[in-house]
A and B are shown apart, each in its own frame.
Chain A
Amino acid sequence: MIYTQSPLAVGLFIFFVLFVLGLSFYLARRTSSAAGYYAAGGNIHWFTNGVAFAGDYLSAASFLGICGMIATAGYDGWMYSIGYLAGWVVALFLVAEPMKRLGKYTFTDALDSKFNSKSIQLAAAISTLLVSVFYLIPQMVGAGVLVQPLLGLPHWVGVCIVGVVVTIIVATAGMASTTYVQFFKGSLLLIMSTVVVISVLTRGLSTTPVNNGLPYHDFKTLHADAALNISEPGYLLTAGLDSEFGKAGFIKLSKDGEESIWQLVKTETGYQLEETLFETKRADGTKSFNGAAKEDGKFFPVGHIKELRINGEEVATTGPMGPFAYLSALKDSTIVLWGKKYVQDGDSTVAIFYQKPTPGARVLRPGLKFKVDNATGTEKFNFISLMLALFCGTAALPHILIRYYTVPSQAAARKSTIVAIAAIGFFYVLTLFLGMGAMTNGVINLTDNNMSAPLLALSFGVVLFAVISSLAFATVLGTVSGLIVAASGAVAHDLMDNFLGMHMTDAGKVRAGKIVAIIVGCIAIYLGIIFEGMNVSFLVGWAFAVAASANLPAILMLLFWKKTTAKGIASSVIVGLASSLGLILISPDMWVRYGYLPADAPVSFNSPALISIPLSFIALVVVSLLTQKDLVLEDSTEAAGA
């Protein structure tokens, strides 16, 4: 409907895939040792590593998910950017240097550095695996979403392409190839996103957006009296006030055999009827868009300003603007957002998208997605819990933590984190303009807002779209390869070598890592296919909550509380993991996926971090205090061995 395949996009995509594969085979010669495979030999320059951090971190959720969320829900989408960036402060001030000092190849190494405990090795390896898999699913789903418009291929083909390419990247050169792929991807993402934002600001704002030379759809307004007699001739009422549509605030009309749904707005004399968009899902699983097939293009891209004001005066267009003037003008204007309601029409379910003109100042403050205005206790809990998970999750993500082992010193670990903060912070500033640009440039596909950033690029021409889409695909490639390295290290190094005591040779460790990478790659492909249609940002938020609950309390207490014991750390990881996963599985959002009503879920909140993180801390403190004897024994063993 909205997409067209571009040979240029396909060409760029193939070029990038061949480039990263070539790079991986070239670097494979440098990764014969375990240190080379798992930690890129520990000799990556801090600047390269910092940009690679950004490449690792700016996943499909950041680039596609956040931009899409800002495009449809305004500032609330940007709250994710703010929370994700704040998480890097925890990484820099508390975790970066100790992680480098204590660990070797994996996050488990650092946790276990003082104890050599089987329970820590097992618990931390399981945690690394589970968090990596949680994070892998949305990336693979994102790959499938991207491949459909980019190459015109089905979802499962996209997932398979990413799975195979990434497995080759990781299995050939491990962390070395992953690092350089991330470096190139991170750099290009920053540069090209800046180009799109400059284009957005140069175009300025307009009440009649132009999308790649195509005029914006003129959404009609009709009028009717109290008995629903339509003022414009030719329209027949097919579902009135007493129908399911009427009960939801809509009516269904027919003109020249074409059906349309209209939103009712009550006036003094009758009704004003606003045109809507609607997606009908029939009982047999087939779908229609505005009553027609997808290819007919009747489901229009949306996003426009209703009243554009500059210094209090209403204007039609602004011309080029600076970034602050752009936001200021949006704040003073009225922007048309889109609400969504479901209506059951016989055997079919109709999703109706209706216009919601909203003051710009309201869009540029929280509350459109997160229920913070007149919120209940549960709604406030959900919001605070999510912001806590975003803040604490970054410094606990295994694929981020292992990047500290690729640099030569603690100072380099610190400096690379600062480069990451600068790069990621800059990108997150850009997301606000990318999202608001999509919101006002008539490019949003209401059935899938994940494509808002690439579609915004398309509004400037197919070249920018091709580059941005290929980059978005590369974003997925890069993040997945980092996750597979983390997962393969957890199995080959933590479980096989340390926990099971298989005592492999250096070459054996590399071989084991590569075999595990291939297995994890196959699992990722399978999960990416079966989770098709799942919301990308939704799962990433959960991955952060699980990582923050299972890993961060253990890391922080190991560093800052001398009474921490091995059993305390293992308990903290297990309690954090079990409580966060358990609360997610019985949350209202999951209850809907099981086919039940969300109100019947055993717990009323969706974000577990506010409960599971404190529980993890408590478990560590209580178990550590109960096992202080072990600590005395460990100390005396160390002294004897010294």
Chain B
Amino acid sequence: MGHGPAVKLGKDNASAYKTRLGVKMFIVYTLVYAIFVATNATNPKSMQEVYLGQTAAVLWGFGLIGLALVMAIIYNNLCTKAEITMNS
């Protein structure tokens, strides 16, 4: 059948570790996102309160975008380390 990668991939011994790590980090981000959505749905006025000169909603927005990038970088570093260690 016509499946399987278009290019030949080497064996990746770190695959299981990366999957577990990905699931854990996904759960953390999903929880934060769920809290954000739930707060907007149940108590939207609290998003108008001001912290550090900005509304809570703006801080949440920057926070979620920034958190995604920070977690992505951490995930990549841990995955790269695992690939170096387990595939060498």
Interaction A to B:
yes
**In residues 342-368 of chain A, which contact B (Cβ within 8 Å)?**
361-362, 364-367
B23-A421 in contact (CB<8A): no
**CB-CB under 8 A for A383 and B41, given A42-B6, A75-B57, A86-B33:** yes
Interface-side segment among A16-24, A239-247, A406-414: A406-414
In Å, the complex CA distance between A93 and B72 comes to 8
* A100 partner residues in chain B, CB cutoff 8 A: 5, 9
Give the residue name and chain of the A residue nearest to B44 (CB).
A372
B22-A94 in contact (CB<8A): yes
In Å, the complex CA distance between A418 and B71 comes to 10
B50-A42 in contact (CB<8A): no
B4-A82 in contact (CB<8A): no
**CB-CB under 8 A for A372 and B6, given A93-B22, A410-B12:** no
A411-B57 in contact (CB<8A): no
In Å, the complex CA distance between A367 and B45 comes to 9
Interface of A, secondary structure class, is: helix
In Å, the complex CA distance between A422 and B18 comes to 21
Give the residue name and chain of the A residue nearest to B32 (CB).
A86
In Å, the complex CA distance between A75 and B62 comes to 12
**CB-CB under 8 A for A411 and B73, given A101-B5, A109-B2:** no
- A268 beta carbon closer than 8 Å to chain B: no
**CB-CB under 8 A for A364 and B55, given A92-B72, A425-B65:** yes
Residues 1-41 of B, flagged 1 when their CB comes within 8 A of A and 0 if not, give: 11111110110100100110011011001100100110011
B72-A411 in contact (CB<8A): no
Give the residue name and chain of the A residue nearest to B43 (CB).
A372
B68-A85 in contact (CB<8A): yes
B42 to chain A minimum Cβ distance, whole angstroms, is: 8
B76-A103 in contact (CB<8A): no
Give the residue name and chain of the A residue nearest to B71 (CB).
A89
Partner of B73, one of A103, A391, A418: A418
* A410 partner residues in chain B, CB cutoff 8 A: 9, 12, 15
Give the residue name and chain of the B residue nearest to A117 (CB).
B1
A380 to chain B minimum Cβ distance, whole angstroms, is: 5
Question: What is the interface residue range for chain B against chain A?
Answer: 35 or more
* A429 partner residues in chain B, CB cutoff 8 A: 62, 65
Residues 65-100 of A, flagged 1 when their CB comes within 8 A of B and 0 if not, give: 000000000010011011001101110111001101
In Å, the complex CA distance between A97 and B5 comes to 12
B61-A113 in contact (CB<8A): no
Partner of A421, one of B3, B12, B69, B83: B69
In Å, the complex CA distance between A79 and B37 comes to 10
* B37 partner residues in chain A, CB cutoff 8 A: 383-384, 387-388
* A417 partner residues in chain B, CB cutoff 8 A: 72
B82 to chain A minimum Cβ distance, whole angstroms, is: 11
A94-B23 in contact (CB<8A): yes
* B5 partner residues in chain A, CB cutoff 8 A: 42, 100-104, 405
A113-B3 in contact (CB<8A): yes
In Å, the complex CA distance between A104 and B29 comes to 29
* A365 partner residues in chain B, CB cutoff 8 A: 44-45, 47-48, 55-57
Partner of B29, one of A86, A327, A364: A86
**CB-CB under 8 A for A112 and B3, given A92-B72, A365-B44:** yes
B24 to chain A minimum Cβ distance, whole angstroms, is: 9
In Å, the complex CA distance between A35 and B22 comes to 29
B38 to chain A minimum Cβ distance, whole angstroms, is: 8
A82-B64 in contact (CB<8A): yes
Partner of A425, one of B10, B55, B69: B69
* B18 partner residues in chain A, CB cutoff 8 A: 97
- A258 beta carbon closer than 8 Å to chain B: no
Q: Which of A93, A327, A328, A432 has the most CB of B within 10 A?
A: A93
- A415 beta carbon closer than 8 Å to chain B: yes
- B85 beta carbon closer than 8 Å to chain A: no
A617 to chain B minimum Cβ distance, whole angstroms, is: 15
- A232 beta carbon closer than 8 Å to chain B: no
- A116 beta carbon closer than 8 Å to chain B: yes
B28 to chain A minimum Cβ distance, whole angstroms, is: 9
**CB-CB under 8 A for A327 and B44, given A93-B29, A113-B4:** no
- B86 beta carbon closer than 8 Å to chain A: no
Give the residue name and chain of the B residue nearest to A362 (CB).
B48
A487 to chain B minimum Cβ distance, whole angstroms, is: 17
A367-B7 in contact (CB<8A): no
- A428 beta carbon closer than 8 Å to chain B: yes
A56 to chain B minimum Cβ distance, whole angstroms, is: 18
B69-A104 in contact (CB<8A): no
B40-A372 in contact (CB<8A): yes
Residues 375-419 of A, flagged 1 when their CB comes within 8 A of B and 0 if not, give: 100001001100110010000000000000100111100110110
A33 to chain B minimum Cβ distance, whole angstroms, is: 10
B74 to chain A minimum Cβ distance, whole angstroms, is: 10
B9-A82 in contact (CB<8A): no
**CB-CB under 8 A for A85 and B65, given A39-B6, A391-B33:** yes
Partner of A408, one of B7, B48, B64, B66: B7
A116-B3 in contact (CB<8A): yes
B6 to chain A minimum Cβ distance, whole angstroms, is: 4
A74 to chain B minimum Cβ distance, whole angstroms, is: 10
* B10 partner residues in chain A, CB cutoff 8 A: 409
Partner of A411, one of B55, B62, B69, B80: B80
* Extra 15 A-B pairs, beta carbons < 8 Å, given A361-B55, A364-B48, A365-B48: A35-B6, A43-B7, A79-B40, A90-B26, A93-B29, A331-B53, A365-B55, A383-B37, A383-B40, A405-B6, A411-B79, A411-B83, A418-B73, A418-B76, A421-B69
Q: What 8 pairs across the A-B complex have the smallest Cβ distances?
A: A42-B7, A93-B22, A93-B26, A365-B57, A365-B47, A39-B6, A372-B44, A328-B53
Q: List 14 A-B contacts (CB under 8 A).
A: A35-B6, A39-B6, A78-B61, A92-B72, A97-B19, A365-B44, A373-B45, A383-B40, A387-B37, A414-B79, A418-B76, A421-B69, A497-B2, A498-B2
Q: A residues bordering B, Cβ < 8 Å?
A: 35, 38-39, 41-43, 75, 78-79, 81-82, 85-86, 88-90, 92-94, 97-98, 100-105, 109, 112-113, 116, 324, 327-328, 331, 361-362, 364-367, 370, 372-373, 375, 380, 383-384, 387-388, 391, 405, 408-411, 414-415, 417-418, 421-422, 425, 428-429, 432, 493, 497-498, 559-560
